């Protein structure tokens, strides 16, 4: 992002309203793609999101103090589970998602395995994850209308 200072740092509970608002905006394209406005990122409540701050690390990407991206992660069974990588549509395709993904991997640098998923039709997300070194390892049905691809990245020791 030429000429713009992108800052990535740990988010805290005071950022929850801005993150949930951005999440709803960022996932509109996914909801449209799947013709489903009830996808979990669109319906997650402020309380649900707030409760995750005790078990997940949240990062935020800001430009001039405004949150333009976020990602969350937690450890489960020795793997780092990455979720809800979001970027403001006005800042997409400028490296913000790649930067957030790289930073969350750094936060969990002792983890050997990283996992994330996306909808099977979400080609931009699939390309981003593959470019970042993730490999598809499973496809699973979420509902009769939706399947997702699970990706993993395993660090060699």
**Section 37-66 average pLDDT:** 90
> Sign of the C-alpha dihedral, residues 84, 89, 91, 95?
positive
pLDDT at 151 over 60: yes
Contact indicator for 52, 72 with CB cutoff of 8 Å: yes
35 domain residue, yes or no = yes
pLDDT at 81 over 60: yes
18 domain residue, yes or no = yes
pLDDT at 153 over 60: yes
81 domain residue, yes or no = yes
Note the pLDDT of residue 3. 58
Residue range of the domain that includes 44: 6-111
Q: Distance between CA 100 and CA 109 in Å, rounded?
A: 14
CATH (domain of 46): 3.40.630.30
pLDDT at 49 over 80: yes
23 domain residue, yes or no = yes
Q: Where are the beta strands (DSSP E) in the chain?
A: 6-10, 57-63, 66-76, 79-87, 113-119, 135-141, 147-154
28 domain residue, yes or no = yes
81 or 40, which is more confident? 81
> Sign of the C-alpha dihedral, residues 74, 88, 65, 109?
positive
pLDDT at 20 over 90: yes
Average pLDDT value over all residues in the chain: 92
> CA Rg, the chain, in Å?
15
Note the pLDDT of residue 1. 54
66 domain residue, yes or no = yes
Predicted confidence (pLDDT) per residue in 115-131, tens digit: 999 999 999 999 999 99
Residue 90 φ/ψ, nearest 5 degrees: -70, -15
134 domain residue, yes or no = no
Q: How many domains does the chain have?
A: 1
43 domain residue, yes or no = yes
């Amino acid at each position: 992002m030429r000429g713009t200072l992108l800052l990535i740092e740990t988010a805290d509970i005071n950022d929850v309203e801005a993150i949930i608002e951005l999440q709803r905006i960022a996932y509109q394209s996914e909801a449209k793609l799947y013709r489903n406005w009830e996808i979990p990122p669109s319906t997650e409540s402020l309380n649900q999101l707030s409760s995750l701050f005790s078990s997940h690390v949240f990062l935020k990407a800001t430009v001039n103090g405004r949150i333009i991206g976020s990602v969350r992660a937690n450890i489960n069974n020795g793997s780092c589970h990455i979720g809800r990588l979001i970027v403001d549509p006005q800042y997409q395709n400028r490296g913000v998602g790649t930067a957030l993904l790289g930073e969350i991997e750094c936060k969990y640098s002792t983890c050997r395995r990283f996992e994330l998923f996306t909808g099977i039709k979400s080609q931009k997300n699939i390309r981003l994850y593959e470019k970042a070194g993730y490999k598809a390892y499973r496809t699973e049905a979420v509902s009769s209308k939706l399947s997702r691809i699970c990706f993993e990245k395993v660090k060699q020791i």
